[in-house]
Structure formats: structure tokens, C-alpha cells
Chain A
Amino acid sequence: MVEAQLVLTALMGLFLAGVAVWLSRIEDWRSYTPLAGGGGAVGEESGYAHDEKPSGLIRWLTTVDHKDIGILYGAYSIIAFAVGGIMVILMRTELLTPDEAIIGSQFYNSLLTSHGITMLFLFGTPMIAAFGNYFIPLLVNAEDMAFPRINAIAFWMLPPGALLVWAGFLVVPFTDIQPAQTAWTMYTPLSAGVGTGTQAGVSGLGIDFMLLGLHFTGLSATMGAINFIATIFTDRGSDVNWANLDIFSWTMLTQSGLILFAFPLLGSALIMLLLDRNFGTTFFLAEGGGPILWQHLFWFFGHPEVYILALPPMGLVSFILPKFSGRKLFGFKFVVYSTLAIGVLSFGVWAHHMFATGIDPRIRASFEAVSLAIAIPSAVKVFNWTTTLWGGNLRLTAPMLFCVGAVSNFIFGGVTGIFTAAIPIDLVLHDTYYIVGHFHYILMGLLAFTVFAGIYYWFPIITGKMYQKRLAKWHFWLTMIGTNITFFAMLLLGYLGMPRRYATYTFGVGPQQIIEVLHQVTTLGAFILLVGQIIWVWNMIQSWYEAPTLQDNDPWDLKETGQFTNEWGWNERRLETAITDGGEEEETAMTDGGDPVDGSADTE
């Protein structure tokens, strides 16, 4: 019986592979280039869209320009980052004392759930899409994204998604509906509404809202991924080929491939969970498919999601770090191939999140093996970055500082991850703060750091201005110190056995006092991070509005080291065009706000 099922599965796999091969042989997919066709339905207007953009709010509501959509993605993500950050500040404040003192445990659970979902789905993924939208077409010399309108739709699915994810908080003052309290993993049977707690019945509608919101964000990510793949494959300029495609585009391409296979599966699993909750199906109930089925489906999406959030940041480091090292990226192709290796292997490690669930030890062993194997391509990148720095002419500008900080944090996050790939160690550390510390070293230490690096690096292109150097340094050092205080203390808490997700820690056993101190240290780190991010937001907004317009299109002196890449070339052409179009009024406006920038001013 079981063997027959295996044979059937193998036959179906072969059939699907055959279909894929057949499709690839009968059709030349590169012929689908609407931009090259002239008069195509999409993309054609992007060349002159800038001149005809409506003004004010209507511009932002109707735009299909990849740069505008990139800015929309960025603004949306930063708002989500702020919301998620405020949530965690409330949680860390509660954890200053072992008792339930400031916010209730139910509210804590709700914040915990929304913090995770917000940071991963509403900040991380869209923020990467922001960079991708703005810069991929520029880097590959495309006129716009392959499908500009789909690009706009993909973005506009996100705000309703966010409202639904946060809906529980918005309606709780007026109704009996509670925000979801399932943690971001939404493990069944809790999330399936079993029992009589706050997650079932009317009060559990917050979960339904959240699941629908997640579905929106998943659709958005999938449409965006298809767009990136189509753009890089079919719309790149004639001078950009696979041999000289930049490293950020490579990582975005790989990430988009991961999204394409991972997010639809999450969407399907979410629908099944909604059916279980509302229509009496038993996909994830003990009498049906079982709670472990949810974990398999969720983590088959969830682990690639980790790399969806990590690969483009790795690409940003690989892209930006050489610019301030005065030399090219060491072993460029090693980084490309290791990126692809990570992409493939990321689908083969999902059950290392489930070592403690009691699955067959022989199956666990296989997942351990692949988890160990995936460490190699990740480590290769670290060596490439280090070697690029080695002997280079380093310039410690804000983007460079954030890149170096990201490499440092990634080593912490990566090495702590290797340990948990080993089953015996994982069984001890599972569900402790060690895991929380480990993945925050990746998500905050790598993802957020590279986001900051990217924003600082491309700030002159996006705004035509330069940020304030001193504030940027403050931002970096507060973020670096805050990150390491917060998450290193979490690693120690994990070693002491502190379980994650708890609103209180009045155990009565164990080293209670040390745990309390470490929690307070963690909270101190979180507040340092908060101060750093407030400085950053202030710097961005004030610099955008009040900084003098940059006269120099090469603020990083990239031409000196031969690293003046396509997006800066595009910006140079844009500025030249603007000067010829602008006339005297433009000149006057450009000097408004201060003296011309030079190297000795308070800006970089």
C-alpha cells in the first residue's frame, strides 16, 4: 500500500517534470518581451511616465513607475517596522519584572504574535521588495519592471493585508473579538480554534482576520516575485548578461524563485486552516491530518522564508561592501553559486524546526544532514566578504559600517544556528530564548542592518540629498550596541533554560535572579535600539526635506575605484536631463536649504 503510494508519487513527479520540459521546448519564453515589442499593453508608458505623472496624492495612488512603487514599498515597510518595534518595546517593558505587572499576559501574547508577523511579512519581505523595485530595473538596464501594473497591484494588496493582520487590535475596544494569540507559527490545534479559549468562537475571529491578511501579503509577494523573475530574465539590457549580472540581482532572482515555490504553499495551508476553523474540515485536527501536518506545511514555507529574508540582504552586503573597500568583491562567482545552493537546499531543511515533535529519528537525521550542508554556502559568503575587506582601502561611511556590522552579526547568528542543526543540542535548546537570540541576530543583525546600509547608500539617488553623517554614526553605534546587548543576553537566557513566548518568569526554580537580570539587560538593549531608530527616522526625514541638494552625482567616489554601477549612471543621466529641462527656477530651488555640500560639511 505504502509502496504503491510512493510509486504513484514518483510517477506523478516524473509526469510533471515531463510537462515542464515539454513546455520549455515548445516555447521560447524570452520572446515574451512586451517592452521590446513597442505598443505592448504594459510598460511602454514608463519611459515618459515621469513627465505625465499627476501631482499630489493621486500620483502615489495611480503610479506604475517602479521607482515610485519602490518608495511606496519602503514607506509602508518603515511604518510596519515602527509598529512592530513599538509592540516589542511594550513586551520588553512587561518583561522588566517577573510578574504580570504592566500589560496582561493575553495582550502580551497578542503583541508577540503580531510582532513576528509584522516584522517578517509586513516589514522584511516588502522592504526587500522596495530595494528590488527601485533598483533592479536600473541595475539590469530595464525600462521598468516587466509588468508595471501587476507591480502596483502587488503593492496595493499590502495595506489591506496589514489592516487585517492588525484587525484584532483595532476592533478589540468595540467587540468581543480578540487579537490572534497563536505566535507567528500559528501552530494547530490552538490556531484551529479547538477548545473554549480566546482563540475559538467569536473571540477567535482575530485569527481569521490575520490569516486573510497573511493571504494578501502572500499574494503580493508572489506577484512581486514573478515580476522580478520576468524582469531579470526578459527585460535586462543587451549589455547585461548572466556573466556580468550584479550580485544584488542574482540574490533577488534566487529569492524570487524561493517565494514562487514557498508562498503559494503557505497560502494553501492558510486556506486549509481557515476551512478547519470555519467549515468543519479536519485537515489539522487530531482526528484528521493531525497537528504535525500543519507544522510540515508551515515550515516547508517557513524555512525558505528565512532565506527569502536573508539572501537579498546578503546580496546588499556583497554589493555595497566592495564599494567602500576600494576593490571588487572577492570570488564573485563563488557568491553567486553559493546563493543558488542556499536557495535549493533551503527547501530540504524544514523539519529541523520540528526535531522536538517526535517525528521518526531516521527522518530527523536526514534533515540534520541537509541543515549541516547548507551551512557551507552561507559560510563561503562570510569568507568572501572578509577577504574583500582584507587589504582593501576601507572607508567607514555609514553604509559601510552597517555592512561590517551585518557581517559581524551574521557570524553570531550563523554560528548559533549551526549548533541547533545538531539534534541533541536542539532538543535542549528548543523553544528557549537561545532560538530567539539566534534568529534575531539574523533578522535584526543582518536584515535590518543591510536595509539601513542600502538606504544610506542609495539615499542620494532616491532623494537627491545626503543624510547627516553624525546622526548616521549615532544610529549605527546605538543599533550595533543595542542589537548585541539584546540578543546576546537572549542567548544566555536560552542557555539557562528560559522558555520563549512567556509573559512572566516566576518559576520558583532555577537561577531566578540571573534570569531577571538578563531580562532587564535585554530590555535595556531594546531601549537603546529604540533611541537609535528614532535618530534614524529623524535623520531621514530632516535630511530629505532640509538637506542641500547634492551637486555631485558620485558622492561615494565610485568612479575612482571603477565601481560606478548602472544605477548611478542612470542617476547621472537623470540629473543631466533635469538641468537642461529645469532652467533657472530649478537652480534656485536646488540651492534652497543650505550651502552646497562638500566633504567638510556635516554630511557625507
Chain B
Amino acid sequence: MSERTFDRETLLDLTVNIVPLGILTFFILVFLFASPWELDPFVTAISIGLLVVPFAVLVLVTFVSGRAVARDEQSATAAGELSASDATLDSGVEEELVSDDHPESDDDQSESDAENDESSDAEPDDAGGDEDDEN
């Protein structure tokens, strides 16, 4: 499951959170192995805990959110493929999602052109056309 959900593109997106995790790891190691103070179990537990707890929670939140986004992306893409011949809303979503994939990995010029040609933002343009009116 995780192999399919966390594909290369999703992992690339998640690298943004790996940097702060790396900084925390660095300091955990420094405080454990290069600390100028003598080891006091209580204070060490607190000071390392202050780094480990945010580390663990950040890993968890990144994992859960990355999985949720990737799954919805895949299901929307699948729905788009099914209805692509009808050029419905879902195909728009698909296009948007495909276009949203990692402009960072493309070269700047082609990315810029592609984005200007795209017909959607983070939200589908015509999304909600079939929803009930607020009024």
C-alpha cells in the first residue's frame, strides 16, 4: 500500500519537511554525544524529549497528510481517466493534478509556460457547478 501511495513524486514533495527533521536529528546527536555537560538522567530526558517529541509528531503529521493527499490525488486521477472522454469536471481535476506535480523538477521555462496554459488553480475552476446554490 505504502509503496503505491508514497511514490517518487510524493516523496519529493515531502522533502520539505525532511530538512527540519534533519536539523532536529543533528541536534539530538550533538546533545547525546558531544554534550559539554555531565549526564543527568532527568535533564537529559527532558532536553532530548523536547527534540524527540516534535520530531515524532512531525513525522506522523507529514506521513498522515502525505498519505491523505496522495490517495485523493490518485482517486481523482482515476476518476478523471474514466470520464476524460466526456471532458467533465473530473478530467479538469486530473489535468490540474498532473500539472501540479512537481514543477520544481522541471526546467523553469517549460513549467512557466505550462502553468500559464493550465486552466485551474489549487481548486478546480468550475468546481461546485453542480452544487446547490448558497442562496
Chain A residues in contact with chain B, CB under 8 A?
2-3, 6, 46-47, 50-51, 67, 138-139, 141, 143, 237, 239-247, 322, 326-334, 336-338, 340-341, 343-345, 347-348, 360-363, 365-367, 369-370, 372-374, 376-377, 380, 390-393, 559, 561-566, 569-570, 573-574, 577-578
A391 and B65 alpha carbons, distance in the complex (Å):
31
CB distance from B14 to the nearest CB of A (A): 6
Asked if A365 meets B119 with Cβ closer than 8 Å, knowing A239-B127, A337-B62, the reply is: no
Contact among A47, A141, A328, A362 with B47 in the assembled complex (CB-CB below 8 Å): A362
B46 touches A363 (CB 8 A): yes
Query: Considering the complex of A and B, which 6 residue pairs feature the smallest CB-CB distances, nearest first?
Result: A369-B27, A348-B54, A241-B72, A562-B119, A243-B73, A366-B50
Q: Which residue of B lies closest to A364 (CB)?
A: B47
Question: A141-B131, A337-B14 known; A243 and B46 CB under 8 Å?
Answer: no
Query: Does B1 make an interface contact (CB < 8 A)?
Result: no
> Which residues on A sit within 8 Å (CB–CB) of B62?
337, 340-341
CA distance A372 to B53 in the complex (A): 16
In the complex, what distance in Å separates the CA atom of A15 from the CA atom of B14?
30
- Which B residues are within 8 Å of any A CB, using their own CB? 13-14, 16-17, 19-21, 23-24, 27, 31, 35, 37, 40-48, 50-51, 53-54, 57-58, 61-62, 65-66, 68-73, 75-76, 89, 93, 96-97, 99-100, 103-104, 108, 112, 115-116, 118-135
Asked if A334 and B27 make an inter-chain contact with CB atoms under 8 angstroms apart, the answer reads no
**A6, A50, A327, most chain B CB atoms within 10 A:** A327
A345 to B55, CA, bound (A): 8
Cα-based distance from A570 to B112 in the complex (angstroms): 29
Given contacts A362-B43, A565-B125, contact A241 B51 (CB under 8 A): no
Task: Note all chain A residues with C-beta closer than 8 A to B23.
Answer: 369, 372-373, 376
Interface residues of B, dominant DSSP: helix
Q: Is B31 touching A365 in the complex (CB atoms < 8 A)?
A: yes
Return the contact of B76 from the options A141, A243, A569 (Cβ within 8 A). A243
Q: Which residues of B lie under 8 Å from residue A47 when comparing CB positions?
A: 132-134
Residue of B nearest to A67 (CB): B134
Q: Once the chains are docked, how many angstroms separate the CA of A561 from the CA of B89?
A: 17
User: Would A332 and B100 be within 8 Å (CB), given that A337-B17, A344-B58 are in contact?
Assistant: yes
With A365-B31, A377-B17 as contacts: A242 and B120 at CB distance below 8 Å: no
CB distance from A77 to the nearest CB of B (A): 23
Q: Determine which of A6, A363, A563, A566 lies in contact with B127 in the assembled complex, contact meaning CB atoms within 8 Å.
A: A566
A329 to B116, CA, bound (A): 11
Per the bound structure, the CA–CA distance linking A222 and B57 in Å amounts to: 22
Contact assessment for A569 and B42 in the assembled complex, using a CB-CB cutoff below 8 Å: no
Interface centre among B68, B69, B104, B134 (most CB of A within 10 A): B134
CB–CB A139/B58 < 8 A: no
Chain B residue, CB-CB nearest to A241: B72
Kindly provide the distance from the CB of B17 to the nearest chain A CB, expressed in whole angstroms. 5
Further pairs besides A242-B71, A370-B50: 15, Cβ < 8 Å: A51-B135, A67-B134, A143-B134, A244-B97, A246-B121, A246-B122, A333-B13, A336-B69, A337-B14, A337-B66, A348-B54, A362-B31, A366-B47, A369-B23, A565-B121
What's the Cα separation between A243 and B79 when bound, in Å? 13
Across-interface contacts of B35 in A (CB, < 8 A): 362
For A362, what are the chain B residues with a Cβ–Cβ distance below 8 Å?
Answer: 31, 35, 37, 40, 43-44, 47
Q: Is the CB of B42 within 8 A of A6?
A: yes
Q: Tell me if B121 and A563 are in contact (CB < 8 A).
A: yes
Q: Which residues of B contact A67 (CB under 8 A)?
A: 134
Residue with the greatest number of chain B CB neighbours at <10 A, chosen from A360, A362, A363, A377: A362
User: A393 vs B112: C-alpha distance in the bound complex, in angstroms?
Assistant: 10
Residues of A close to B121: CB separation below 8 A: 246, 322, 328-329, 562-563, 565
Q: Is the CB of B42 within 8 A of A3?
A: yes
Instruction: Select the residue from A50, A240, A241, A391 with max chain B CB neighbours within 10 A.
Output: A241
Q: How far is the CA of A330 from the CA of B120 in the complex (A)?
A: 13
Chosen A-B contacts, 19 in total, with CB atoms closer than 8 Å, are A240-B127, A242-B71, A244-B124, A245-B122, A328-B99, A329-B121, A332-B122, A337-B13, A337-B14, A341-B58, A344-B58, A360-B43, A363-B50, A370-B51, A377-B20, A563-B120, A563-B121, A564-B125, A578-B135
B125 touching A331 by the CB < 8 A rule?
no
A348 cross-chain contacts in B, Cβ below 8 A: 50-51, 53-54
With A337-B65, A564-B125, A569-B125 known to touch, is A243 a contact of B97 (CB < 8 Å)?
A: yes
Interchain CB contact under 8 A, B116 and A327: yes
| B72 engages A376 (CB within 8 Å) | no
A380-B47 CB under 8 A given contacts A143-B132, A345-B54: no
Contact between B115 and A336, CB atoms less than 8 A apart: no
Cβ–Cβ < 8 Å partners of B112 in chain A: 327, 391-392
Q: Which of A239, A333, A340, A367 is close to B124, meaning CB atoms less than 8 Å apart?
A: A239
A325 → chain B closest CB, angstroms? 10
Does the CB pair A333–B100 fall under 8 Å? yes
CB distance from A412 to the nearest CB of B (A): 22
Q: Contact between B127 and A340 (Cβ–Cβ < 8 Å)?
A: no
Q: List B contacts of A247 (CB < 8 A).
A: 122
Cα A6 to Cα B58 in complex, Å, equals 22
**Whole-angstrom CA separation of A372 from B57 in the bound complex:** 17
| Most chain B beta carbons < 10 A, residue from A241, A244, A343, A361 | A244
A6, B125: Cβ atoms closer than 8 Å:
no
CB contacts (< 8 Å) of A6 on chain B: these are: 42, 45
- A347 vs B42: C-alpha distance when bound (angstroms): 21
The reply to whether A243 and B72 form a contact with Cβ atoms under 8 Å apart is yes
CA distance A151 to B48 in the complex (A): 41
Contact of A326 with B96 in the complex, beta carbons under 8 Å = no
- Cα separation A559 to B121 with both chains bound (whole Å): 11
- Min C-beta distance of A559 to chain B, whole Å: 8
Choose among B19, B58, B66, B128 the residue that contacts A239 (Cβ–Cβ < 8 A).
Answer: B128
Partner of A577, one of B54, B66, B68, B133: B133
Residue in chain B with minimal CB distance to A560? B116
A66 CB, nearest partner CB in chain B, Å: 9
Q: Is the CB of A327 within 8 A of B134?
A: no
A390 and B108 CA atoms in complex are apart in Å by 10
Residues of B contacting A240 with CB < 8 Å? 123, 127
Our pick among B20, B47, B100, B135 for the contact of A50 (Cβ within 8 Å) is B135
Contact B131 A237 (CB under 8 A): yes
> Interface centre among A347, A369, A561, by most B CB within 10 Å?
A369
The answer to whether residues A363 and B47 also contact, given A138-B134, A328-B118, A373-B24 and a CB cut-off of 8 A, is yes
Chain A residue with the shortest CB-CB distance to B134: A570
